Structure 1
């Protein structure tokens, strides 16, 4: 067998060492990215036709103003999209970031951890760091709890906000870190912020897919990996792996190479199991303490609510008042930032998603906010303005935690004494 030239061996060795350096001790590297590409698909004009595209297994990345959709698809999915009669053209790769670290840039996983540590050190009376479990490669899935008397499990309504479940959606972690900064810096000086912190227990987790996030950010000058899933040997779309209506309705893929691969079974991904276990742990005395859940995504400029698996507003598990409450809150949030509100299935059918599970299984009023930046990698110079534009939505949502039914004027019927234990 012919030997590789020494220079090539050296390059390959350096690359392997660089990859190994990104992993915690003892973690095995996941396989390389699948051969998916990004395409602009024209022809679909409604939710049903977008759902036909999603049923191929392609990930719908965004819906443009003219109705065309951007997708990530492997070759078999691209062929299936064309068989549906839709047109597809290749999209250019994302532009590289400037070399070196900009003054304002996206947080790496390590920088996010350091920022949380700094916040805890600066505001120990209202912030506590929490590690809810480990990723496949052994990284901490970390967040903070913010509340007055933060070390005590008080008789207060709770909220859970997560982000970066899809690795390439970098702006989502910045949105959550911005909310952490807003709640801490404003405490004691801003009456609105002070009331929120005093009256609620707020859980915030900026990077719930840390392995994927680290992989996506391997190089500042090569951000175009466009990695979506986690990093186990059969990488899974975590937002198709939750155990409510998992794989039921054509809203995910059974093909391991697909960007929407749902995994071999519900909760098969370690990160999914960590999140579901945490949510279940908030059942105290037989009652779920979490009253609101938010999953922050990019890049559709939308506010969405359950269900994603069906087009029906009041499917089993969603009464008329529950649907109306979701709708009213979602529209209120959208009114603050100009986003489009809608039921998740108004976009296209999905199954096994976070907020279908948190509502359908745990009865937590649940939302997805799709922040907007024009791409998965908006210029770092725009981070501050983009997250500022969505800040009000997150504050409004937090205010509803005492009684979501207030959005439809039925707080007297459903929570005359407030939503408490």
Structure 2
């Protein structure tokens, strides 16, 4: 190592130590942060909280900016059996900037709360939280502060609306899939997210699927999903935890949302939206949250946005711990990845098991029948009772189609019955 390399290395160490001191003693300020400042904030988070953070990029924008995700939770770099994972995606439309700052403050809230706030600590011990502060850094880079309406910066660098760019299950989407969209698609296909929200601005409402109509004969009214009861519960959890979103039917000029929620298509139709893709492709329950009437308000308003949204952002994610979860295994107790778990009567939406054979299904209290299927196995149905405030565990065994011996039939079914017993987990 020559003298110049030695000096540069020590300069880097000193910069890291200075950054550590600043970050530890000063809270995140309420201003808009550019990409360099955002990346510094995320890297500092991993330096000071290495045991509960994992920073990774899922790809790059059109202009080559990394799409960073910060994962937060105890032992977040390791697989914890049946621990559910949730996500937030901010700044999909680059000129809708409030969500970008709210995600940074939410990260700080979780990190500083771990070990000091009992509720936050307990949540992060049993949940993996993944936060993408910005999905559209290129659009944000050309957006104009103080602009409440308009489209400058809304789209990506190729001029495409990223929340109209996903494959649509009801109507063909002819827009070429953008690199940012493709990165999100690969991300959710390879990680088993259970609950999610994408964050916007320009209104104040929690919007839930479907965003478009699954029938050519329907052109107005609500487009009801099989899990409409759960989606309304999730949306109401957010708005009722928000300081004002649910209090008045008129939260922004011209808007009228009872309790601050709306079915997507009933508000206006979206072809190629992110929330429908999450739900229909992998069974991840996602809603869209509009956080501010003004898309890019002055930074002086950011403290009140944080005050109003802080509890809602946290309480929404805690809803991942309702319904049912368990393992799908074969008759030799091996996990079955990519098995499909349905709720009978709520088809065709299914949850695809993780590579460890895990499934999660958000449900309200009641009696349900689960159906599990996988290639090369016999389809199985089991009954389940979901209680309020707890997660019901139900493991499901699928018999390999090669098991045909009638004489061993009862021997095979006995462990299946035992493994399918319901255990209520607090």
TM-score w.r.t. the length of structure 2 is: 0.63
**1:230-379 maps to which residues of 2 (within 5 A)?**
230-232=156-158, 235-245=159-169, 248=172, 264-265=175-176, 268-282=177-191, 289-310=192-213, 315=224, 318-319=225-226, 322-337=227-242, 338-339=244-245, 340-372=260-292, 374-379=293-298
Task: Provide Cα deviations, 1:222-247, integer angstroms capped at 9, x if missing partner.
Answer: 99873210002xx1100000012375
Distance 1:190 1:419, change over 3 A: farther
1:291-345, Cα deviation, whole Å (9 max, x unpaired): 1011011121101111010257575xx32xx110111121122112232111112
For 1:104, the equivalent position in structure 2 comes to 30
**CA contact 1:302–1:371 (8 Å) conserved in 2:** yes
Asked if 1:413 is matched to 2:339, the reply is no
Structure holding more strand per residue: 2
Q: Tell me if the contact between 2:146 and 2:296 (Cα under 8 Å) persists in the aligned partners.
A: no
Are residues 222 and 355 of structure 1, via their aligned partners in 2, closer, same or farther at CA, if it must alter by over 3 Å? closer
Deviation at 1:371, TM superposition (A): 0.3
Preserved CA contact (<8 Å) 1:336 1:393: yes
Q: List per-residue Cα deviations over 1:66-97 (Å, max 9, x = no partner).
A: xxxxxxxxxxxxxxxxxxxxxxxxxxxxxxxx
- Asked whether 1:208 is paired with 2:135, we answer yes
CA contact (8 A) 2:141 2:153 kept: no
Distance in 2 between residues matched to 1:324 and 1:147, nearest whole Å: 29
Superposition pairs for residues 387-398 of structure 1, below 5 Å?
387-398=306-317
2:100 alignment partner in structure 1: 173
Please tell me whether the aligned partners of residues 244 and 361 of structure 1 are also in contact (alpha carbons under 8 angstroms): no
**Superposed CA offset, 1:352-383 (max 9, x none):** 000010012111111111102x4112120111
Given that 1:237 and 1:263 are in contact with CA atoms closer than 8 Å, whether structure 2 keeps it comes out as no
Gaps of 5+ in 2: 1-28, 214-219, 246-259, 324-360, 368-383, 397-426
Structure label with greater radius of gyration: 2
Q: How many residues align?
A: 288
**Cα distance in 1 for residues equivalent to 2:99 and 2:263:** 20
C-alpha separation in 2, matches of 1:296 and 1:419: 34
1:240 and 1:246 in contact (8 A); partners too: no
Q: CA deviation at 1:127?
A: 0.9
> Residues 342 and 204 of structure 1: is their aligned pair in 2 closer, same or farther, counting only changes over 3 Å?
same
**1:358-416 residue CA offsets vs partner (Å, 9 max, x unmatched):** 012111111111102x4112120111211221111111111111225777323863552
Matches within 5 A, 1:97-176: 104-155=30-81, 156-176=83-103
Of structures 1 and 2, the one with the larger relative CO (CA 8 A, separation 6+) is 1
TM-score, normalized by length of structure 1? Answer: 0.64
Is the Cα–Cα contact under 8 Å of residues 129 and 144 in structure 1 kept in the other structure? yes
* Distance verdict in 2 for CA 1:141–1:345, change over 3 Å: same
Match status 1:399 vs 2:308: no
Partner residue of 1:5?
none
Gaps of at least 5 residues in structure 1 are 1-102, 249-261, 283-288
- Paired with 1:120 and 1:170, the residues of 2 have a C-alpha distance of 24
| TM-fit CA distance, 1:419 | 10
C-alpha distance 230-246 of structure 1, shift in aligned 2 (>3 A): farther
